[in-house]
């Protein structure tokens, strides 16, 4: 059979990324241009600046992705793009580029959900076995998703306030780390000798939802309490207390869902999947429960276009294409 090539575009937040996949699984290129340095001095992503940066980068990244893949544009069989959720101005840049390419090359367009992308990044490293449970943890999302069968998602729970990565970034800021601070908190937690006990937000006993804003406030309160007494709190012990609370709750709920729904596989995904403590704990718990676990390599955990291609490939195989009426969907359900 003749190989086919999907070109995928992701611009939902602060990464401009274009990838080329061969046969939906082989990554020929996955170019990622991060805007983090630009947004850092503002302490977070500034939507207006993100859109402008995407506009500046998109054609350059497109050309680089095609060149790196070693194919000609005439070998592109379909164009996939993140339709949502995300920042509307940022999404629009990718959507307009994808539509233009689809029209110019006369190939199908495949609109893709960003979270489906994070989940199906796991297709690039292994075979998905259904029913599977996805633990999606990123800067913008925290969700437990049951994959009943291919492309059939059921959201069991989600955060009611901050996303895990967002909570990490806010705590990191309180501990004087630059944005995005998740990795610094992770590293500091591993250097701690002891831990400051912080609360765990389990919510209702049967709930798969999360809440992290109380935990973040507890960290700030600990810092203030120490300062009032003229002491300086141990940032390492605080980081560890915070990380342990997050990991207990996130993995505790994921394992309970895995049992309740008798899943045959666990998938960890999203930028916070880079967290060493989380990876280690989930690996151990899954081993103990006999649930096979997939975790993509770090480059496929954070926002990238290859994951969008991996999710779009399932639609390609079913011949499910999107019309050129496709719109950017800042709020988009899975």
Binding residues for Fe cation: 114, 118, 303
Binding status of residue 169 toward ligand KG4 by CB under 6 A: yes
Q: How far is the CB of 216 from ligand KG4 (least distance, A)?
A: 13
What is the pattern of x (binds Zn ion, CB under 5 A) and - over residues 123-162?
A: ---------------x------------------------
| Residue with Cβ nearer ligand KG4 (24 or 117) | 117
Task: Single out the residue of 263, 272, 291, 308 in contact with ligand KG4 (rule: CB under 6 A).
Answer: 272
Question: Which has the closest alpha carbon to 21: 90, 93, 77?
Answer: 77
Interface segment toward ligand KG4; rule CB under 6 A; list 63-71, 99-107, 133-141, 317-325: 133-141
Contact 309, 17 (CB under 8 A): no
Binding status of residue 195 toward ligand KG4 by CB under 6 A: no
Question: Which has the closest alpha carbon to 112: 141, 83, 89?
Answer: 83
Binding status of residue 84 toward ligand KG4 by CB under 6 A: no
Binding status of residue 303 toward Zn ion by CB under 5 A: yes
Tell me how many residues contact ligand KG4 (CB under 6 A): 19
Binding status of residue 143 toward ligand KG4 by CB under 6 A: no
Binding status of residue 51 toward ligand KG4 by CB under 6 A: no
Interface segment toward ligand KG4; rule CB under 6 A; list 59-67, 92-100, 176-184, 310-318: 176-184
Interface segment toward ligand KG4; rule CB under 6 A; list 50-58, 181-189, 200-208, 323-331: 181-189
Binding status of residue 182 toward ligand KG4 by CB under 6 A: yes
Task: Single out the residue of 7, 19, 91, 168 in contact with ligand KG4 (rule: CB under 6 A).
Answer: 168
Applying CB under 5 A, the residues found at the interface with Zn ion are: 138, 303
Residue ranges in contact with ligand KG4 by CB under 6 A = 13, 138-140, 165, 168-169, 180-183, 186, 270-272, 274-275, 302-303
């Amino acid at each position: 059979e003749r190989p086919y090539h999907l070109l995928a575009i992701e611009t939902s937040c602060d990464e401009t990324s274009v990838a080329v996949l061969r046969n939906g699984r082989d990554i020929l290129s996955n170019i990622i241009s991060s805007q983090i340095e630009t947004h850092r001095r503002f302490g977070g992503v500034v939507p207006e600046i993100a859109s402008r940066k995407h506009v500046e980068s998109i054609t350059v990244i497109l050309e680089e992705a095609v060149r790196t893949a070693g194919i000609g544009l005439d070998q592109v069989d379909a164009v996939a793009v993140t339709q949502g959720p995300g920042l509307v101005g940022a999404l629009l840049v990718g959507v307009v580029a994808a539509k233009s390419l689809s029209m110019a090359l006369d190939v199908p367009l495949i609109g893709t959900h960003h979270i489906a992308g994070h989940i199906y990044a796991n297709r690039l490293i292994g075979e998905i076995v259904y029913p599977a449970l996805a633990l999606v943890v990123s800067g913008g999302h925290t969700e437990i998703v049951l994959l009943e069968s291919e492309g059939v998602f059921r959201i069991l729970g989600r955060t009611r306030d901050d996303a895990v990565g967002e909570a990490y970034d806010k705590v990191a800021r309180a501990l004087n780390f630059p944005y995005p601070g998740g990795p610094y908190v992770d590293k500091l937690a591993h250097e701690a000798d002891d831990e400051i006990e912080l609360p765990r937000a389990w919510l209702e006993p049967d709930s798969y939802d999360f809440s992290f804003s109380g935990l973040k406030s507890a960290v700030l309160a600990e810092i203030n309490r120490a300062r009032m007494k003229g002491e300086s709190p141990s940032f390492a012990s605080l980081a560890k207390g915070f990380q342990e609370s997050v990991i207990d709750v996130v993995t505790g709920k994921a394992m309970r869902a895995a049992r309740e729904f008798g899943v045959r596989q666990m998938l960890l995904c999203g930028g916070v999947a880079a967290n060493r403590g989380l990876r280690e704990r989930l690996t151990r718990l899954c081993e103990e429960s006999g649930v096979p676990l997939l975790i993509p390599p770090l480059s496929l955990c954070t926002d990238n276009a290859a994951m969008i291609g991996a999710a779009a490939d399932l639609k390609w195989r079913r011949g499910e294409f999107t019309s050129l009426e496709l719109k950017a969907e800042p709020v988009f359900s899975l």
